[in-house]
């Protein structure tokens, strides 16, 4: 049994037995971890955190080798993101982030790029006046950092470069040129949208926030990224309808 200390973002909590709670965290050191906080409902002061979703906490836990449910011995709140909680639209976007990462990431696989991406997302969400763009940039980078970036460099069928009009295949996760046919759900994708995704993947976080997006690009990004994620995760994300 090892003792682990790490910063961690709350993804989800639920009641457990009479007095306890189980929390899913995304942690800096260990990726997604689940743990029991014994007695937290009977004595909320036992831990220095109310375990609000998307809050950042310092946690200490005993890691069991024969279970993926561990014992949290300490949990202290570090960041609460009050400006997000005071604004319904911002709060819904943060809940979406937590639900997406909970669904997308496997348990106990360290991924510090994803952790830092979540922190950058929350910090930007406190102040941005363009929540829609922020969500799309988060989706693009989360796909990249988790190893599921869409294939935009060439047609997924004939492997040739695609110039001009193309479609995006949800199942194949990439571009289909006008000469190829695939038997699944596709959606038109304009060169501007392809260029936006490629740029957003490469650009540092703060530079990506300055991307100017036309209405067409916004609409295509929303449809393609939301549907590609559903296809990839095999399940709809409940909070997606708010973003």
User: Which residues in this chain contact Zn ion in the complex, by CB under 5 A?
Assistant: 155, 157-158, 177, 180
Q: How far is the CB of 165 from Zn ion (least distance, A)?
A: 12
Minimum CB separation from Zn ion for residue 155, in Å? Answer: 3
Structure tokens of 170?
């949800």
Who's near 183: CB < 8 A, 6+ residues apart? none
**CB-count burial class (<10 Å; 0-12, 13-18, 19+) for 203:** middle
Q: How far is the CB of 10 from Zn ion (least distance, A)?
A: 44
Residue 165 to residues 170, 194, 218, 232, 243, Cα–Cα distance (Å): 17, 10, 17, 24, 27
Q: In whole angstroms, what is the distance from residue 243 CA to residue 239 CA?
A: 7
Nearest residue (CB) to Zn ion, 175 versus 243:
175
Judged by CB, which is closer to Zn ion: 39, or 173?
A: 173
Closest CB to Zn ion among 69 and 158? 158
Least Å from the CB of residue 158 to Zn ion: 3
Please state the closest distance from residue 140 (CB atom) to Zn ion, in A.
23
- For residue 135, the surrounding DSSP H or E stretch is helix 131-145
Select 135 or 177, whichever has its Cβ closest to Zn ion.
177
Q: In terms of Cα–Cα distance, which of 158, 187, 195 is closest to 170? A: 187
Report which of 95, 71, 79, 76 is spatially closest to residue 21, judged by C-alpha positions.
Answer: 71
Nearer to Zn ion, 187 or 236 (CB): 187
Q: What token pair was written down for 137?
A: 């940039």
Smallest separation, CB 196 to Zn ion (Å): 22
Identity of the residue, 178 or 192, whose beta carbon is nearer to Zn ion in the bound complex? 178
């Amino acid at each position: 049994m090892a003792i682990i200390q790490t910063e961690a973002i709350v993804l989800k909590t639920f009641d457990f037995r009479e007095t306890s709670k189980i929390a899913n965290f995304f942690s800096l050191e260990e990726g997604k971890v689940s743990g029991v906080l014994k007695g937290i409902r009977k004595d909320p002061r036992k831990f220095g955190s109310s375990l609000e979703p998307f809050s950042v906490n310092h946690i200490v836990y005993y890691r069991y080798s024969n279970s993926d449910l561990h014992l949290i011995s300490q949990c202290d709140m570090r960041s609460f993101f009050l400006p997000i909680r005071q604004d319904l639209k911002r709060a819904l976007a943060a809940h979406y982030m937590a639900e997406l990462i909970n669904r997308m990431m496997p348990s106990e696989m360290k991924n510090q790029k994803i952790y830092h991406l979540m922190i950058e997302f929350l910090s930007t969400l406190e102040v941005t006046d363009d929540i829609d763009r922020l969500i799309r940039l988060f989706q693009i980078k989360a796909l990249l950092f988790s190893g599921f970036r869409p294939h935009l460099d060439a047609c997924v069928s004939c492997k040739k470069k695609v110039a001009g009009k193309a479609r995006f295949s949800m199942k194949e996760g990439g571009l289909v040129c006008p000469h190829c046919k695939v038997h699944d759900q596709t959606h038109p994708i304009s060169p501007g949208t392809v260029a936006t995704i490629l740029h957003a993947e490469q650009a540092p976080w703060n530079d990506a926030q300055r991307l100017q997006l036309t209405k067409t690009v916004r609409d295509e990004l929303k449809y393609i990224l939301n549907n590609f994620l559903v296809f990839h995760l095999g399940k709809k994300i409940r909070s997606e309808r708010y973003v």
